């Protein structure tokens, strides 16, 4: 933990405590959560911080934080406005975000976390009116040409500028902004990433990231015949996702490889749905006159959805409208 209470009951950070030169008065320091004594640590590998004494359990502060997590919290505190609260406890949630600024709950995720726990924490924040801002550490940061981890997908955010993801590079003391998220049948997941240092007065632009973006990169060409051939290759190598979609098609008398050309065109929600978009268009073809409610009933049961911060129904509604436009353009 980066904060503790001193003998006057005031919160103090590890960095501030080091400057006081009172390391020998550690018995006066207590945990803000459980009220038990903590010790000050000022080693070579981790930034100044506090830890509970041996054999003590605390249900509001975790122990054994990595150097990356401690450094990340300190870095984020410098990025956010001065009134942002470090390690604030939210009793109504029994959760403690790394930082809290107004209703923005900032979580720096750089260690393993189960999908269930991530979902629980996210849903708790949303249910109580908090906006969870998950920022990823180096182990979860996306790489070109590789599939994104479930954690990375789960914390993709929506904004007026489009879908986005945030990361933190503690060694370079920079915030990473992933944007222009897309998907291509040959290249896999595509994105642009912009890096911003702490000293760039960044927070004023955090939620106006359009000002931070560079010129859009040239995207690889999309060819219908190539995409259809790539689906065939996925079936030959027994891709689990594509086999599942083909099985759903067979059950409805269809075939992923034998659809009208417009079903293989790129879509506005391509990053979120990847190959699933072809199947959703096949569902639309079964009854182009059906209402969104009827189509959605089937579509929502098939689509895999790891994106905790995005509205699945709203995305499917956009897909349905796109199907209508493409169908009418034939």
pLDDT at 209: 44
pLDDT digits (tens, 9 = 90+) for 30-57: 777 676 777 677 666 566 767 776 655 6
Q: Phi and psi for 33 in degrees, rounded to 5?
A: -85, -60
pLDDT at 213: 46
112 or 128, which is more confident: 128
Contact 175, 202 (CB under 8 A): yes
- pTM more than 0.85: no
37 Ramachandran zone, left/alpha/beta (phi>0; psi -120 to 50): beta
Residue 88: pLDDT band (50, 70, 90) is: confident
Taking CA 65 as the corner, what is the angle to CA 62 and CA 71, rounded to the nearest 5 degrees?
125
Q: What is the mean pLDDT of the chain?
A: 86
Helices (H) and strands (E) in the chain, counts: 10, 12
Judged by average pLDDT, the poorest of 6-10, 79-83, 286-290 is: 6-10
Contact 105, 126 (CB under 8 A): no
pLDDT at 228: 98
pLDDT digits (tens, 9 = 90+) for 200-236: 655 555 555 444 444 456 678 999 999 999 999 999 9
pLDDT at 145: 75
pLDDT at 219: 77
Beta bridge partners of 183: 189
pLDDT digits (tens, 9 = 90+) for 116-139: 899 999 999 999 999 999 999 999
Contact 13, 86 (CB under 8 A): yes
Alpha helices in the chain (DSSP H): 14-20, 67-79, 115-127, 150-154, 224-236, 240-251, 270-273, 276-286, 292-302, 312-328
Contact 148, 109 (CB under 8 A): no
**Percent of the chain at pLDDT exceeding 90:** 58
Contact 96, 106 (CB under 8 A): no
Q: Which two tokens stand for residue 253?
A: 């008398």
Which has the closest alpha carbon to 122: 114, 112, 132? Answer: 132
């Amino acid at each position: 933990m980066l904060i503790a209470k001193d003998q006057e009951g005031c919160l103090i950070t590890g960095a501030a405590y080091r400057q006081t030169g009172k390391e020998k008065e550690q018995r006066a320091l207590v945990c803000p959560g459980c009220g038990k004594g903590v010790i000050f640590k000022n080693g070579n590998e981790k930034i100044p911080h506090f830890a509970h004494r041996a054999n003590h359990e605390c249900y509001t502060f975790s122990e054994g934080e990595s150097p990356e997590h401690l450094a990340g919290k300190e870095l984020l505190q410098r990025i956010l406005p001065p009134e942002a609260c470090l390690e604030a406890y939210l009793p109504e949630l029994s959760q403690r975000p790394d930082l809290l600024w107004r209703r923005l709950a900032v979580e720096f995720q750089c260690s393993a976390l189960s999908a269930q726990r991530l979902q629980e924490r996210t849903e708790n924040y949303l249910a109580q009116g908090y906006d969870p801002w998950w920022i990823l550490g180096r182990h979860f940061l996306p790489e070109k040409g590789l599939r994104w981890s479930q954690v990375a997908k789960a914390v993709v955010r929506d904004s007026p500028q489009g879908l986005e993801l945030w990361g933190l590079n503690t060694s370079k003391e920079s915030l990473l902004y992933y944007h222009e998220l897309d998907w291509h049948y040959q290249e896999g997941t595509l994105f642009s990433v912009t890096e911003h240092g702490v000293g760039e007065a960044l927070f004023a632009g955090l939620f106006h990231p359009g000002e931070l973006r560079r010129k859009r990169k040239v995207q690889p060409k999309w060819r219908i015949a190539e995409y259809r051939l790539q689906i065939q290759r996925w079936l030959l190598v027994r891709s689990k996702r594509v086999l599942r979609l083909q099985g759903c098609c067979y059950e409805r008398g269809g075939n992923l490889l034998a659809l009208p050309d417009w079903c293989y065109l790129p879509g506005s929600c391509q990053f979120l749905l990847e190959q699933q978009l072809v199947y959703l268009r096949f569902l639309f073809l079964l009854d182009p006159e059906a209402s969104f409610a009827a189509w959605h009933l089937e579509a929502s049961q098939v689509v895999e959805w790891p994106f905790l911060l995005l509205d699945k129904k709203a995305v499917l509604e956009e897909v349905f409208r796109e199907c209508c436009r493409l169908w009418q353009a034939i």
